[in-house]
Amino acid sequence: MKISVTINGALYEREAPENVTLLRFLREYVGLTGTKEGCGGGECGACTVLLDGRAVNACLILAAEVDGASLRTIEGEAQDGEPSDLQKAFARRHAVQCGYCTPGMVMSARALIERNPKPSVDEIKEGLEGNFCRCTGYVQIIEAVLEATGQPATIQEGSHV
Amino acid sequence: MFETANPETLRQIGRSPARHDAEDKITGAAVYVSDMAFPGMLHAQVKKSPHARAKIQRIDVSRAARLPGVRAILIGADLDYRLGLYVVDKDILAKSEVRHFGEAVAAVAADTLILARQAVDLIEVEYEVLPPILNHMDALAPGAPLVHPDLGKYDYVQAVFSPQPGTNIANLTRCRKGDVEKGFAEATWIVEREYTNPSVQHVPMETHVVIAQWKTGDRVEIWTSAQSPFTVRDLFCHAFKLPPSNVHVSIPNVGGGFGGKAGIHLEPLVACLSRKAGGRPVKLQATREEEFSLLPCRSALTYRIKTGVLADGRIIAQKMEMFWDAGAYADYAVNVTRASGYSAGGPYEIPNAWVDAYTVYTNKPYGTAYRGFGHVEFFWGLERHMELVAQTIGMDPLEFRRKNLLRPGSLTLTGEKITEHTGDVRKCLDAVAASIRYGELTPEEKAREARAGLKIGKGVATLHKAPAMPSNTATSVVVKMNSDGSVLVNVGLTEIGQGSTTALAQIAAERLRFPLNKVRVTIEKDTDRDPYDWQTVASKGLILTGNALLLACQDLLAKAYELAGQALRAQACDLDHDGEKIFVRHNPDHSVKFSQVALGYMFPDGNGIGGPLIGVGRYIAQGLTNLNKETGQGLPALDWTYGAHGIVVEVNPTTGEHHILKIASAYDVGKAVNPELIRGQCIGGMVQGLGTALCEGYIYDEQGRLLNPSFTDNKIPTTKDLPDEIECIIVERAQVDGPYGARGVGEHPMISVAPALGNAIRAATGAELTHMPIRSEDVWRAMNRKEPVETWITKTPVGSCKTLPVGK
């Protein structure tokens, strides 16, 4: 079937079978591979994208369902070659290790910030609960979201003795 | 040896610049093998065994072969190659017998993934199902069915390992120090217990994925999500009897490894599919379910410890028996057994020690390396045991530990002498104890207890680990100067998320005295273009590659000075440099820019001299030996990284539910190269350790079928599982032979989180936990003196199962 979808402001029209997930559609039919597959079962959040502003797991949605909709993916987060403040905070706060969960994590954080511009630590934990990260232990990610929203960022102590 | 770390003069070491790989990872530009595709590429799928142990009676691929678009089908009989890191015991596809649930019995490459899946479904396999050996302790019993009846015929690394043909023992590592029976005779107290933990999955967010192309002339291209490009190449060449020049391994970004991507895994199968498909590239990515059982896990362990203590609280003797559940293949489990065997006593002085560490074959998915390489598992038992011993003899557990810690002059289990430069475990332990205010409840904590009707307890645990690696582990580095005087660094060490790319750039910038933005360390790895490195494992990268990098920078500068000396008509010994230029020390205006010598120097009349500047450095682990197979004596440790955790936990005394209020962790890193990278390792490893401590583990039914191969049934920690407060403490007792005094800390944060929690729960409630993970129901069981869960083999998928008597 023919699927038309606006991704990061640009219109894409592709022929794809009815049973193709949005995740495979993005990665294989549109060629946007920033969105990752971690489990394929809606458990890990690595494939999080914004569907009409709402964070969703692209592996649980059929491409056919988003015909006519507007999507945002990690590739739309930087503008004119300049990473967003949220992305810069992820880099500055060492909120990235292997990087495989990062695109989904950034998109979940983006959705959170858009509905709650100054989230508390507990609200950030709630907002990112569906995104697994096996590397960082989440603290520096939470700090990045705090920094990106103009809040004091260091939430856990580090010290030399 | 390598560059003293005078804090006055350091400009790069000790700072926390952003990671050099961050920009591509935050924008989605970073490419992983799972993102890659090539023209004509086929997609592979694997037919897997639904049985834990069965004879393969018949495989019929005819229906699959008739499916249009299927380009290659392989079964075990087609492939006469056997794999194995240390014991060569594994066929690429099972031949006559399957040995674990999820084992590959056939594979297909087809035009599309959907077609490959359909083809796999059309392959018919008839099995004669046999009763599996699931519990590794049962597998040791005389007369137990043998997982590998041909064990005596397999090749193995004879200098290091000792398989026992005619049994299920893939390896036995022994360590003997002093006279343990004499020590027990002198002891006032003897305390003996057994501790257990189940198999666990690594859970890299990117599952194992390979693209391979077997071209004419037996030339093979491999793109793989692996930790160690040269080990993949060399083991591949060994299996297929190919020269290294025929095999080219490339590794782009890797979505996490944690040990599960060390060694070699899917590469041989995918390459064989490509060969069968006429040389078209073939891609295979494990599903999340396959990651749990087609690919390996972390071994389960049963650890028996018997400790003799003198009247004054000093340990006089300790007998340690480890029973590691290898699963169906030896893979890394035999080496986990070896490394754990010689570390088994922890950072304590034990005058008389006796260790027997067994690797036991069972019909379960096989064990491999996992962050900590056995130490997460055995420190669970060891540090719970130290707590029990202290209680038994009526001494405070912290005091008991302090009394028995290694100190300069102590001998390890293998006879290595500890020096003042080895690292400071005492300082780590004291720091975490102070951080959690060990031994008391603060007024706030008392008020919280009273308010909520909960119990608060505090516990500590120590840890140590040395890199587990061959005695001659080697690495090399090439530093190439660009035309503008900046440098590009090639290393074989893989960036799997640990941040080595950034730390190495800081080391190079420090040694060269260049600004950091003039140093780039490549992220993608390539066996044809990068210099050799053994493997990205064992927390050895910072020391070994760091040292090779320092030597490469030194070599580059020497060559630059030689050329500059000719250009400036000065002796090299009179020269000095800054980030831009080389100058005559007594006449600083007389100088030549690095950019003028980078590609060779040209005199004003056009004469050229020198040539492009390239620095080369190589380094090898020094002074290490194989261990004596009877006594375990020898020098296995390049360095020891010590650490400790302290935990404050709140427990509901009725239900066993618990919540961590604070965790403090300290590690002696020698010298912190990048404190924020260390903090990332510390918190990330600690949270991974919490997963092991709180909830993770394989559950099987009595037929050996894995019941929880998903994130729904095998939880890993999320943001909601974080302790309320986390403190990471860095201790810096310089490693004399480390770069600027640094030593590795990649694995260590995961070790001993579980026993610190177990000890804190004991302090809160008196619950004696001997099995991890520590779920609420386990605490409830222990508080109520119910028998603990003995294994995670169950009639029902709820984790409650058959039990054995306590304390045998």
Q: Do A125 and B720 touch (CB under 8 A)?
A: yes
Whether residue A130 is contained in a domain is answered as yes
Tell me: do A53 and A101 sit in the same domain.
no
User: For residue B347, what are the CA distances in angstroms to B181, B454, B464, B702?
Assistant: 22, 33, 6, 38
Mean predicted lDDT score pLDDT of chain B: 95
The beta strand positions in B596-719, using DSSP E, are 599-602, 608-612, 614-620, 641-651, 658-668, 700-701
Q: How many CB pairs under 8 A join A and B?
A: 201
Question: What does the pLDDT read at residue B795?
Answer: 54
Indicate if the pLDDT at residue B808 is higher than 50. no
Indicate if the pLDDT at residue B145 is higher than 50. yes
Specify the number of domains making up chain A: 2
Residue of chain B with shortest Cα separation from A98:
B497
pLDDT in tens, B616-650: 999 999 999 999 999 999 999 999 999 999 999 99
- Could you give the residue ranges of the DSSP H alpha helices within B145-266? 180-186, 229-240
How far A102 CA lies from chain B's nearest CA (Å)? 6
pLDDT in tens, B301-314: 999 999 999 999 99
Query: Considering A42, A76, A110, which residue would you say is the last residue of a domain?
Result: A76
B447 Cβ neighbours under 8 A, 6+ residues apart: none
pLDDT in tens, B566-576: 999 999 999 99
> Which residue shows structure tokens 């130490």?
B375
B728 Cβ neighbours under 8 A, 6+ residues apart: A156, A157, A158, A159, B665, B666, B678, B679, B682, B683
Q: Do B718 and A129 touch (CB under 8 A)?
A: yes
Determine the length of chain B: 808
Q: What does the alpha-carbon distance between residue B183 and residue B202 come to, in Å, rounded to a whole number?
A: 40
Indicate if the pLDDT at residue B787 is higher than 90. no
B127 touches A at CB < 8 Å: no
Residues from chain A contacting residue B710 (CB–CB below 8 Å)? 39, 41, 43
- CB atoms under 10 Å from CB of B346, counted, come to 28
CATH number for A107? 1.10.150.120
Q: Extract the tokens encoding B523.
A: 């992220």
Question: What does the pLDDT read at residue B805?
Answer: 34
State residue B62 phi and psi, 5-degree precision: -65, -40
Among residues B96, B86, B97, the alpha carbon closest in space to that of B158 is found at B86
CB B254 within 8 A of CB A98: yes
B201 touches A at CB < 8 Å: no
pLDDT in tens, B415-472: 999 999 999 999 999 999 999 999 999 999 999 999 989 999 999 999 999 999 999 9
Tell me: do A6 and A68 sit in the same domain.
yes
Query: Considering A29, A45, A76, which residue would you say is the last residue of a domain?
Result: A76
Residue of chain B with shortest Cα separation from A87:
B26
Counting runs of H as helices and runs of E as strands, what totals does chain A give? 5, 6
Whether residue A21 is contained in a domain is answered as yes
Which of A35, A73, A94 has the CB atom closest to B676's CB atom?
A94
Interface test with B, best of A8, A74, A86, A98 (most B CBs within 10 A): A98
Question: What does the pLDDT read at residue B134?
Answer: 96
Tell me: do A93 and A113 sit in the same domain.
yes
Q: Do B684 and A137 touch (CB under 8 A)?
A: yes
Question: What does the pLDDT read at residue B675?
Answer: 97
CA angle B71/B73/B75 to nearest 5° reads 170
pLDDT band at residue B6 under the 50/70/90 scheme: confident
How far B683 CA lies from chain A's nearest CA (Å)? 5
> Which residue shows structure tokens 């590959």?
B104
How far B374 CA lies from chain A's nearest CA (Å)? 19
Which of B26, B710, B717 has the CB atom closest to A102's CB atom?
B26
For every residue of B465-490, DSSP letters joined together read: E-----TT-EEEEEEEE-TTS-EEEE
- CB atoms under 10 Å from CB of B165, counted, come to 13
Q: Do A129 and B204 touch (CB under 8 A)?
A: no
pLDDT band at residue B5 under the 50/70/90 scheme: low
Average pLDDT of the segment spanning B504-520:
98
Whether residue A155 is contained in a domain is answered as no
Which of A27, A88, A157 has the CB atom closest to B727's CB atom?
A157
Instruction: Report which secondary-structure segment, H or E, holds A11.
Output: strand A10-15
Q: What does the alpha-carbon distance between residue A150 and residue A130 come to, in Å, rounded to a whole number?
A: 24
Tell me: do A44 and A23 sit in the same domain.
yes
How far B67 CA lies from chain A's nearest CA (Å)? 19
CB B441 within 8 A of CB B456: yes
Residues from chain B contacting residue A100 (CB–CB below 8 Å)? 32, 204-206, 255-256
- Sheet of B54-60: strand order equals B97-98, B54-60, B124-129
pLDDT in tens, B651-673: 999 999 999 999 999 999 999 99
Residue of chain A with shortest Cα separation from B28:
A34
- Domain membership of residue A52 as a residue range: 2-76
Tell me: do A54 and A72 sit in the same domain.
yes
pLDDT in tens, B375-394: 999 999 999 999 999 999 99
Tell me: do A26 and A59 sit in the same domain.
yes
Q: Which of residues 660-679 of B touch A (CB under 8 A)?
A: 666, 672, 675-677, 679
Strand partners, B282: B42, B212
Indicate if the pLDDT at residue B798 is higher than 60. no
Residue B284's Cβ-count burial label (10 Å; 0-12, 13-18, 19+) is: buried
Whether residue A158 is contained in a domain is answered as no
Tell me: do A62 and A90 sit in the same domain.
no
- CB atoms under 10 Å from CB of B608, counted, come to 10
Among residues B359, B437, B447, the alpha carbon closest in space to that of B398 is found at B437
Question: What does the pLDDT read at residue A45?
Answer: 98
pLDDT in tens, A38-55: 999 999 999 999 999 999
- Residue B539 amino acid letter: S
Residues from chain A contacting residue B24 (CB–CB below 8 Å)? 99
Plot region of A34 (φ>0 → left; ψ -120 to 50 → alpha; else → beta): alpha
Tell me: do A71 and A91 sit in the same domain.
no
Average pLDDT of the segment spanning B779-804:
60
Whether residue A141 is contained in a domain is answered as yes
Q: What does the alpha-carbon distance between residue A103 and residue A81 come to, in Å, rounded to a whole number?
A: 16
Q: What does the alpha-carbon distance between residue B776 and residue B670 come to, in Å, rounded to a whole number?
A: 38
**Using CA atoms in the order B593, B596, B597, B599, what is the torsion angle rounded to 10 degrees?**
140
CATH number for A9? 3.10.20.30
Q: Indicate the pairing of strand B189-197 with strand A54-57.
A: unpaired
Q: What does the alpha-carbon distance between residue B95 and residue B49 come to, in Å, rounded to a whole number?
A: 12
For every residue of B281-343, DSSP letters joined together read: -EEEE--HHHHHHTS-BBPEEEEEEEEEE-TTS-EEEEEEEEEEEEET--TTHHHHHHHHHHH
**Composition of chain B by helix, strand, coil, percent to 5:** 30, 25, 45
The complex's ipTM? 0.98
Considering chain B, what percentage of its residues have pLDDT values greater than 90? 96
Tell me: do A95 and A30 sit in the same domain.
no
Q: Do B205 and A74 touch (CB under 8 A)?
A: no
Structural domains in chain B plus CATH codes? 33-132+208-285 (3.90.1170.50), 300-469+625-794 (3.30.365.10), 477-620 (3.30.365.10)
**Using CA atoms in the order B411, B416, B420, B422, what is the torsion angle rounded to 10 degrees?**
-120
Question: What does the pLDDT read at residue A150?
Answer: 97
Indicate if the pLDDT at residue B197 is higher than 70. yes
Tell me: do A8 and A68 sit in the same domain.
yes
Tell me: do A25 and A56 sit in the same domain.
yes
pLDDT band at residue B786 under the 50/70/90 scheme: confident
Residues from chain A contacting residue B423 (CB–CB below 8 Å)? none
CB B12 within 8 A of CB B506: yes
Q: What does the alpha-carbon distance between residue B719 and residue A93 come to, in Å, rounded to a whole number?
A: 17
Average pLDDT of the segment spanning B763-783:
94
Indicate if the pLDDT at residue A157 is higher than 90. no
With H, G, I as helix, E, B as strand and everything else as coil, classify residue B666: strand
Q: Which of residues 597-616 of B touch A (CB under 8 A)?
A: none
Question: What does the pLDDT read at residue A155?
Answer: 81
- Residue B264 amino acid letter: I
Which of B258, B712, B727 has the CB atom closest to A156's CB atom?
B727
Whether residue A160 is contained in a domain is answered as no
How far A94 CA lies from chain B's nearest CA (Å)? 6
Tell me: do A90 and A70 sit in the same domain.
no
Question: What does the pLDDT read at residue A117?
Answer: 98
Question: What does the pLDDT read at residue B1?
Answer: 46
pLDDT band at residue B7 under the 50/70/90 scheme: confident
DSSP state of B5: -
Residues from chain A contacting residue B726 (CB–CB below 8 Å)? 139, 156-157
Whether residue A33 is contained in a domain is answered as yes
Q: What does the alpha-carbon distance between residue B389 and residue B378 come to, in Å, rounded to a whole number?
A: 16
The answer, as to whether pTM is greater than 0.90, is yes
Residues from chain A contacting residue B719 (CB–CB below 8 Å)? 124-126, 128-129, 131, 138, 141-142
Whether residue A7 is contained in a domain is answered as yes
